[in-house]
């Protein structure tokens, strides 16, 4: 697997299979086949994010739930599960 982490806080924002194309540029991050992109990450680029390859995915990974630092995952203490609303825990 590979993850894109935010350089400011090392939070893992995205996780992809090793063979999934990800291109980090000066303007953005392009995801998918270069001739037919799946999506573009507009708020991250090569100055504020890092693509880290050969990571082992946590079983319950979810965007922004984990911090990836020095080859290890740790829980993001500020993460709130967006799948659970305050009115419906």
pLDDT single digits (tens) 60-75: 999 999 999 999 999 9
Residue 87 has a pLDDT of: 59
The whole-number average pLDDT for the span 34-49 is 97
Residue 84 has a pLDDT of: 87
Cα angle, residue 23 at apex, residues 38 and 44 outer, rounded to 5°? 85
Q: What is the mean pLDDT of the chain?
A: 95
Q: Percent of the chain beyond pLDDT 70?
A: 94
How would you classify residue 7: left for phi > 0, otherwise alpha for psi between -120 and 50, otherwise beta? alpha
The whole-number average pLDDT for the span 16-33 is 98
Q: Is the pLDDT of residue 86 over 80?
A: no
């Amino acid at each position: 697997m590979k993850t894109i982490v935010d350089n400011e806080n090392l939070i893992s924002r995205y996780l992809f299979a090793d063979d999934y194309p990800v291109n980090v540029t000066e303007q953005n991050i392009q995801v998918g086949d270069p001739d037919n992109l799946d999506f573009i990450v507009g708020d991250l680029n090569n100055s504020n994010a890092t693509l880290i390859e050969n990571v082992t995915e946590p079983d319950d990974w979810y965007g922004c739930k984990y911090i990836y630092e020095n080859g290890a995952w740790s829980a993001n203490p500020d993460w709130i599960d967006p799948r659970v609303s305050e009115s419906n825990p």
